[in-house]
Structure 1
Amino acid sequence: MSAIDDKWAALGGPGGFLGWPQDEGAGSEEMDTNPPGGRCRDFQGSSIYVKSGVGAFEVHGDIRLAWVRWRAVGGVLGFPTTDETSTPDGRGRYNHFERGSIYWTPQTGAHVVYGDIRQRWAAMGWERSRLGYPTSDERDSSTPGGRMNDFEGGVIFWTPPHELDVRFQID
């Protein structure tokens, strides 16, 4: 048995939310990832990724779709480092990845936060901060070379060289 098989069994195997492995085609068997360094397998309701030194973790639902849009393990986020997990306030869900996170609520959808913006948001208390949940993926700002993320309660801007600015919405 592989680490992926062990994880699948721990999450309920065929009777769990992952369901059975994909029947045919890409993802039906365990395969190497691109970029190299890990393995993955697709299931009816999820995917499990494993990387040596990181572990085996599942990604599913809207968070998985957002991660795939950001090129999955080959993108800015890299491999998952947590399973999809409920947030402490019980309102949302998240997965952490090697270089960022995706947070989801039914109201906001799934959004990517990474780099210095993610570090600032984490230091403020994540979704329990005054900013709340992200309402956009990180993206370019109007400042040349700058980046930004919108949140329920404001915006975090990053401009070179590594300057952060938090602006809260005024109700």
Structure 2
Amino acid sequence: MKVSTRPLWRKATLFKGVVVTLASLAALTVQASPAAADDVYGKPVGGAILVKYNELDRETGPLGCPTSIELDNPDGVGKRQEFAGGTIYWSAASNAHPVWGTIGGKWGALGYEGGKLGYPVDDERTDPDGAGKRQQFQGGTVYWHPTLSNGAHPVWGRIGELWASYGWEGGVFGYPTSDEGWEEPYQSMTQSFSSGGLTLFWSPGKNDETSWCKQECVGYSGAAGTDWFKETRVETYVGTDQVKVRAIPTRNGFNNARTDFHGAWNQVWSMAPYPKGINQVEHRSLYEQFACHAAWAEERLPGDWNTGPTWDLESWLPSIGMEKAIDPVEARKHKCNWT
């Protein structure tokens, strides 16, 4: 058999050439893959951010062209990429969502993903009224309306739960017009809403003489004022169905409600919605307590009324009938707070 005299270095060269060629083909194949990343005007967009970017029509959509590469967030967990019209944020827990406009500005002012709201968990949505916008985040939802909301504001926690139970922005309270803020006289967090100057509040509660809520409570107040009343405040103790109503009379209210219980009652509820979940027995009891206060309010010293500055009505007190509620002898016994 004839033995080849081809030099070994030649064989090695040919083999090396094959390796180089295959490697080159592999590199071309990887670069051509559309799933890994896509260049848009020189900026690569990839992964879940690319998927969301494609959903929003890429550079022809509201985001426009990328203005940065993908960046790590300060928390060391999430990612973001900036575009001409907004920023897409991503984390494993929330997926990828864009943040922009007035809602994005409020979110940023509250600390971006490192703040109380956390990461966006949905895209910006149009509200059922066709005019307002909202975006949901891990810690709450930010709402905005061009004329009703006075900018963008987050709603969350106990106040958010109560607001939702009354119909969100389409309910009796309307859109939020402020962020939450602490109100020292009431020892509570309060938030203003667009309908009738209504305010929702939450208090951790404190069982002392200065506290309005003796335990954790949530509720709302209307302070638009009438001739006979300054404010109507409705408190619900968290974890119970117990409701306390506080009607705060003016001087005219103290003097005149005794002759027109029903008219005074209507003025109280012209400032705030009647509490949900009150049954007929509870309703009768509330009205009887109100009539009792109205009938027997007396000014002992200038500005000092025997009923106190507010007429407190408690849903858990039983109904005793109107006759007993306003009878002068009985009233001296129960003082409008029977058990």
TM-score, L = length of structure 1:
0.90
Matched, 1:59 2:105: no
Partners in 2 of 1:54 and 1:133 — Cα distance?
Answer: 26
- Correspondence 1:146 to 2:204: no
1:167 to 190, 202, 221: 221
Task: Give the equivalent residue in structure 2 for 1:25.
Answer: none
Measure, in 2, the Cα distance between the counterparts of 1:160 and 1:143.
14
1:21 equivalent in structure 2: 66
- Is residue 20–residue 44 contact of structure 1 (8 Å, CA) maintained in 2? yes
2:54 paired with 1:6? no
The aligned amino acid for 1:167 is S
Moved more, 138-147 or 28-37: 138-147
Distance 1:104 1:118 in 2: 15
- In the alignment, the residues of structure 1 paired with residue 167 and residue 74 of structure 2 have an alpha-carbon distance, to the nearest angstrom, of 34
| Other structure's SS at 2:76 match | coil
Q: Distance in 1 between matches of 2:112 and 2:217?
A: 28
Pairing of 1:5-154 with structure 2 (within 5 A): 5-22=50-67, 28-107=68-147, 108=149, 109-143=151-185, 146-153=188-195, 154=198
CA displacement at 1:122 relative to structure 2: 1.6
Distance in 2 (alpha carbons) for counterparts of 1:67 and 1:163: 27
2:199 pairs with 1:155:
yes
Q: In 1, Cα distance between the equivalents of 2:77 and 2:61?
A: 27
Question: What SS does the corresponding residue of 1:134 show, helix, strand or coil?
Answer: coil
- 1:20/1:146 Cα in 2 relative to 1: closer, same or farther (>3 Å)? same
TM-score (norm 2): 0.47
- Residues 126-135 or 161-170, more deviating: 161-170
The answer to which structure has the higher helix fraction is 2
Taking only the aligned residue pairs, the percentage that are identical comes to 36
Count, aligned residues: 166
Report the residue type matching 2:50 in the other structure: D
Deviates more, 1:69-78 or 1:36-45: 36-45
Q: Which moved more, 1:145-154 or 1:130-139?
A: 145-154
- Bigger share in strand: 1
| 3-state SS of 1:158 partner | strand
Amino acid at match of 2:129: D
The whole-number CA distance in structure 1 between the counterparts of 2:94 and 2:129 is 26
Q: Which consecutive residues of structure 1, in runs of 5 or more, have no partner in the other structure?
A: 23-27
Moved more, 138-147 or 91-100: 138-147
Contact 2:162 2:219 in 1 (8 A): no
CA distance in 2, matches of 1:99, 1:167: 25
Question: Aligned-residue CA RMSD in angstroms?
Answer: 1.7
Offset at 1:34? 2.2
3-state SS, counterpart of residue 53 of structure 2 = helix
The CA deviation string for residues 62-89 of structure 1, in whole angstroms up to 9 with x for no partner, is 0000100001101010000111110012
Alpha-carbon separation, structure 2, partners of 1:36 and 1:114: 26
Larger RCO: Structure 1 or Structure 2 (Cα < 8 Å, ≥ 6 residues apart)? 1
Give the greater-gyration-radius structure (CA). 2
Provide closer, same or farther for how the CA distance between residues 57 and 131 of structure 1 changes in structure 2, counting only shifts above 3 A: same
